[in-house]
Structure 1
Amino acid sequence: MWWWALARLVLAPGAGVLEAAVVAGGWGLSLLPVHCVPKGQAEGALAAGRWRRAWRAVTGHRGDAQGEA
């Protein structure tokens, strides 16, 4: 429907705010990811804390949040 409003906005001399609102809203909704799955079920999903563990492996830091080693 938003593409019809876009065509009307471009081609019809009387088109205006209503068509522009339909175009903006429809185009924005078309950007939503509709093929989403929970992260735990996604193929190739990375575990939480992956970067923290990788950083600790590289730096050798094993302390807590207060910086104790």
Structure 2
Amino acid sequence: MRPLLTALALAVGVLWWWAVLRLALAPAESGPVEGAVAVGGWGLGLLPVHSVPGPVRRRAAGATRASTLRRSGGGSGPS
């Protein structure tokens, strides 16, 4: 599986560089496909892939977020 992903990533990278170089060196002959590939690859480069959610913290058993406070003279109200 890993060699397949590596080959796919390499192919996408080569395709992007081909589109960028074609736009830079021969802009008159390049078309919308090269533009879309170049802009799409550049946009992917701006994604913050280093930003991932941190580990999930588990609360200890019996811990609660809120506690119920008891009123002093804790009898029931008039019926």
Relative to the length of structure 1, the TM-score reads: 0.47
Higher alpha-carbon Rg: 2
Higher helix proportion: 1
Relative to the length of structure 2, the TM-score reads: 0.42
